[in-house]
Chains A and B, each alone.
Chain A
Amino acid sequence: MTPSPASHQLIADMIDHVETVVVGKRKIIRLITVALLAGGHVLIEDIPGVGKTVLVRSIARSIGADFKRIQFTPDLLPSDITGMSVFNQKTGEFQFRPGPLMGNVVLADEINRTSPKTQSALLEGMAEGRVTVDGTTHKLPDLFFVMATQNPIEYEGTYALPEAQLDRFLLKLSMGYPSRADELAILNRLSGENPLERLQPVLTIEQILELRRQVREVYVSDSMKNYLLDIVEATRHHPDIYLGVSPRGSLAFLQAARAYAFICRRNYTVPDDLKEVAPYVLGHRIILRGDQTGGQKAAELIRSIIASIHVPVRTKESIR
């Protein structure tokens, strides 16, 4: 398969498009695109006010798909997001009224503010691609992309997502404060009319599904797979790590690397792809020993692990 320039152009367009609204976050935008193309979901964790919601909304708007937003609150019930059966007096039957989770692109704002019961309803939908309401299973749409945001858990009035469940998300990102120059640009750009409102969709559902198919065909050589496994195994033997990356994590890692290679306009992966996505794919899949908490530390640890692993550079004899 040769890389199709048209598909690459589509992605580049989308990223540029989002950048007209979100300033200085190209890397995060690319990573969200990786998740979208890899068929995973994204969790963005950061303090309030750094533009999580704006970012997610502008990506959602760039995709010409059914966009739903759920604002998680402590009193939200699982049925509020999955939908519920309502008795129709005319027909005399219970009729299913789909909840906001049934959209193509779902923005789950501040998921750590709601009760674990509601959280698990969302996470089940993300994992299974279906929801069960009153004994009936409802399939979620083919394109189902959740972007969740959460405030760091040390803030008040939050319910921490169980660490073991975090791996339902392909990537966990953190935005961080913008640079001074970027913040100045934000002041200039967002003081007037909200540019978000003017944003037009550039990708259709069909296009995204086609891109996802292409991403699955990105070539991963055996040496790359071994390199990936080297990294994963190192997390399992590292003295500071209590729980290493699971095989599900390895699969996610592989998929993310493929998508990253794809948005870099390649149809094969190189070690750099793995290096680039590793902190975001693996950071929330490990549990650190002792009282070390927080995503930043985990991502740092992953980076240090990668810095100790030999990059496969094939030798003469293996060249065909």
Chain B
Amino acid sequence: MRNKFRKWPHLLSWLLAVFIFWTCVRPVMTLTILNQPLQLFLFFFIPLLLLSIGAPFWLAGLAGILQTGWAIHNYFFNDLPLLDSQWLVRTVRELNRNARMVWQGNLTGMSDLFSAFLFYVLLWLICVVVWRWLKTGRLYLYFFLSVAAISMVDTFTDVKAAQSLPFVIVAGLLMVGIENYSRLDEAAGPAVNRTGFIKWLLIVTASLFLILATGFAGPKMDPRWTSPLVYLQNKGLISGGLLTSQRIGYDSDDTRLGGSLGMDATVLFTARISGDAGYWRVATKHIYTGKGWSAGKSGYFVPLVDRTQNLNRIALYGKNTKTTKQSARLTFTNDSPAILPYIGQPASVAASNPTLKINPDAGQVLTADEKPVRTETISYLQPVYQIPSLRRVKGSPDPESIRSRYLQLPGELPDRVRTLARKLTAKSTNRYDAVMAVMNYLKSPRFSYSTDQVPRPAGNQDYVDQFLFTSRTGYCDNFSTSMVVLLRSAGIPARWVKGFTSGEYTGQTEARVNGKTVPASIYQVKNSDAHSWADVYFPGSGWVSFDPTPTFADPSVFTETGSSGSSSPASGRTPRTPGASSSTSSAQAASRSNRTPAQSMAPDSGSVPQKSPFSDHSGKQAAAGHVSLLPRLLSVAAGILVPAVLLVAFLTRKSWLSRLLSRRLTRLAVTDGVSFNRAYARVLSLLRLNGMRRKDSQTLREFAEEVDGKISGRAMQELTQRYEQLIYSDQAGLSRADQSAIMTNLRLIAAKLADAPKKS
């Protein structure tokens, strides 16, 4: 192994092995939240490299531990500095809690952090195993298991891994071929023949090409058994998609909009809110495909810890937007989606399901297991947009992260859409006016609102183009999409938001905000309240919602000045919901708007009105865990370390057992037949550990000759001769000379075996 890098065929096959490893690991990025390629690659590459260049085991282990820490920080505690001990303590507490849960058999309750941690431990162990395979030349096994792994991933998950299969097969066969050459080469002689290797490589490549060409050219039968998954599902053995990447419970596919809309009055949830009526957010999408909206390569989740942690990943408002703190409590019906809708900008979210996660890309809060919940309690910030600061935005002073993401438009977008956008915004001197111009254009009588007789774009027709110039009839999706596309065409960052309108006002109740009892309104949200609108980015103010659909109006509050009265700027904006009348709620908002955002953002303000019994319980547990952290830490460490140590001990058993045995051998005193017999048995096991095993039909003498040939010398033969005398002759005694000769030979053999592995 040590001279691996001196031989470039070895290096080549090693690189191929790394490639195969990478191909096998890659689906992890689509299947899980661990979606950063460099991190994943380095995680297995560094320990593998360290082990391959002969670095000690603990170093590879350390690399694994450090990288696990780095990854956990990156995925789960991104908002804390890396060198902060706080996230480490939290991680340990989380691991401890989960380890206890697993210990109690509650496997479903595992958090993402814990699964990620287990995944990294597993990946590291696989890394060690792969290294052993490479070292001992079990390449066929490695190759076969890789292909099997990829096939499994392709069959049982959504990931289409089959395309990478030919590459893995080519790389694997090439690797095996190269390794075979090295083996032949080592058997033939020490000199590495460069031209010989190149010839070999050519032959291997040519046969590979032949195999591939035959494979691709040959007729392909349809599978007899379409998919084991379908079969299992039909048999009722598994329900739903096993291992499918269940992302979003709420109709996630918006890539093809259009067509008529069915109205469905099923009640989804009832909300008691202390603030004004507002739109309920479910998801934002940023990629316009020409037919609809896509969230891109979504599926990256961060856990929502302690009800507040990581909520800043879906923050909406900048410092120029004034906010007031409000609370809402939602009660879901059986038909509710698995996503927790929120209003305003959530400051803390709790649900009857204790583990929640956040999808920062889509701005979603959802349960970790993506199952519906019964209740949700939010404390949120209700915005009051400051029109003067919105008007101050001129040109395009947006940060690059916003520009790169929210100005996307498909290349096939017809030019007349861009021309229209330029024409609409030409007179506007600032961004707010431009947005209003576009919105008013869409709200103008040119376009009519209808939920039926809405055509779908056919062929390569563009969805927005069709609406703006051909059909001019549509519902919220047409209006909101057109608005976003027009704004983007005019260079204004915008995104598409889907969710629900504020719902139907059904009554009045009371809620507690900041320890005070305040009046709260009850709203009932139905399936037919589903809606979509536009989010426009204003530097300093953050995301501002605009609803371009005629007869709809976002009840968000805009004020002309920071301190005095507020008014709805758009003349046509009347609240659809009768309860939340604009005038009263605006007054409420104004009276609260002078509270500083920092104050209301404080997570420990005790704003959550009602804790669910479950969350209360877990809170106590966490507190208890903090008190006696050390013993639990130890138990977690033991739970992880003991299996790991055992595994490492098992993998390295040959070297340490051999060392142990030879040490005992050198200390052994051979005085009689019994002790000699024991010593000889030990020599045999020591030899076995060093790869020299006596065949059953081999006599001791033949075996001794073979051993001496390998370790050079005659020690084993001399020892064996005396042993033969002991077991085959009729004299049992050992003379003093015999004893000392035996001990000398024992030590010689032990010493030679201890040297041998270092030489090879």
Q: Which chain A residues have a beta carbon within 8 Å of chain B's beta carbons?
A: 219, 221, 223-224, 266-272, 275, 306-311, 313-314, 316, 319-320
Contact = CB atoms under 8 A, between A and B. Distances in A.
Interface in B672-703: 673-674, 677-678, 681, 696-702
Contacts of A309: 697
Which 5 pairs between the two chains have the least Cβ-Cβ distance? Answer: A268-B729, A271-B699, A314-B727, A310-B696, A219-B730
A270 B725 CA distance: 8
B107 interface: no
A270 B699 CA distance: 9
Contacts of B697: 306-311
Interface string B695-733: 011111110000000000000000000001111111010
A268 B728 CA distance: 7
B678 to A, nearest CB: 7
Interface in B369-410: none
Contact of A272 (B678, B701, B727): B701
Interface string B278-305: 0000000000000000000000000000
Contacts of A310: 696-697
B673 A311 contact: no
A235 to B, nearest CB: 15
A263 B678 CA distance: 30
A221 B728 CA distance: 6
A319 B673 contact: yes
Nearest to B726: A319
Interface residues of B, number: 20
B728 A223 contact: yes
Contacts of A320: 673, 732
Nearest to A316: B677
A184 B315 CA distance: 98
Given A307-B697, A319-B673, A313 B678 contact: no
Nearest to B681: A316
Contact of B729 (A267, A272, A313, A319): A267
A233 B678 CA distance: 32
Given A309-B697, A319-B674, A272 B702 contact: yes
Given A316-B677, A316-B678, A269 B698 contact: no
A314 B732 CA distance: 13
A311 B732 contact: no
Nearest to B727: A314
Contact of B674 (A272, A308, A316): A316
Contacts of A308: 697
9 contacts: A221-B728, A221-B730, A266-B729, A268-B728, A270-B724, A310-B697, A314-B677, A316-B677, A316-B681
Contacts of A269: 728
A215 to B, nearest CB: 15
Nearest to B678: A316
A221 B673 contact: no
Interface string B421-443: 00000000000000000000000
A319 B675 CA distance: 10
Given A271-B699, A275-B699, A308-B697, A224 B728 contact: yes
Nearest to A1: B730
A266 B731 CA distance: 12
A223 B699 CA distance: 13
A306 B699 CA distance: 11
A226 to B, nearest CB: 12
A270 B700 CA distance: 9
Contacts of B674: 316, 319
A305 B417 CA distance: 91
Given A219-B728, A223-B728, 5 more contacts: A270-B699, A271-B699, A306-B697, A314-B677, A319-B727
Interface string B663-677: 000000000011001
Interface in B725-747: 725-730, 732
Interface centre among A266, A307, A319, A320 (most CB of B within 10 A): A319
A316 B696 CA distance: 17
A266 B730 CA distance: 12
Contacts of B698: 311
A106 B696 CA distance: 42
A311 B700 CA distance: 8
Interface centre among B673, B674, B699 (most CB of A within 10 A): B699
Contacts of A266: 729
Contacts of B702: 272
A266 B724 CA distance: 11
A308 B727 CA distance: 22
B674 to A, nearest CB: 5
A219 B728 CA distance: 8
Nearest to A220: B728
A272 to B, nearest CB: 5
B678 A268 contact: no
Contacts of A221: 727-730
Nearest to B699: A271
A219 B677 contact: no
B701 A319 contact: no
Nearest to B675: A319
Contacts of B681: 316
Given A270-B724, A319-B674, A219 B729 contact: yes
A166 to B, nearest CB: 27
Contacts of B677: 314, 316, 319
A267 B729 CA distance: 8
Contacts of A316: 674, 677-678, 681
Nearest to A224: B728
A268 B673 contact: no
Contacts of B701: 270-272
Contact of A268 (B696, B699, B700, B725): B725
Contacts of B696: 310-311
Contacts of B699: 270-272, 275, 311
Nearest to A308: B697
Contacts of B678: 316
A144 B725 CA distance: 33
Contacts of A271: 699-701, 728
A81 B701 CA distance: 45
Nearest to A274: B699
A152 to B, nearest CB: 30
Nearest to B677: A319
Nearest to A275: B699
A211 B44 CA distance: 73
Interface in B627-675: 673-674
A249 to B, nearest CB: 21
A320 B726 CA distance: 10
A269 to B, nearest CB: 7
Nearest to A221: B728
A6 B725 CA distance: 21
Contacts of B724: 268, 270
Contacts of B700: 270-271, 311, 313
Contacts of A311: 696-700
A105 to B, nearest CB: 32
A270 B727 CA distance: 9
A229 to B, nearest CB: 16
A23 B678 CA distance: 45
A224 B698 CA distance: 14
A221 B732 CA distance: 12
A299 B90 CA distance: 77
B683 to A, nearest CB: 12
Nearest to B724: A270
A182 to B, nearest CB: 24
A316 B684 CA distance: 13
Interface string B148-169: 0000000000000000000000
Interface in B332-358: none
A29 B216 CA distance: 67
Nearest to A318: B727
A143 B726 CA distance: 35
Interface in B150-205: none
Interface centre among B701, B702, B728, B732 (most CB of A within 10 A): B728
B475 to A, nearest CB: 85
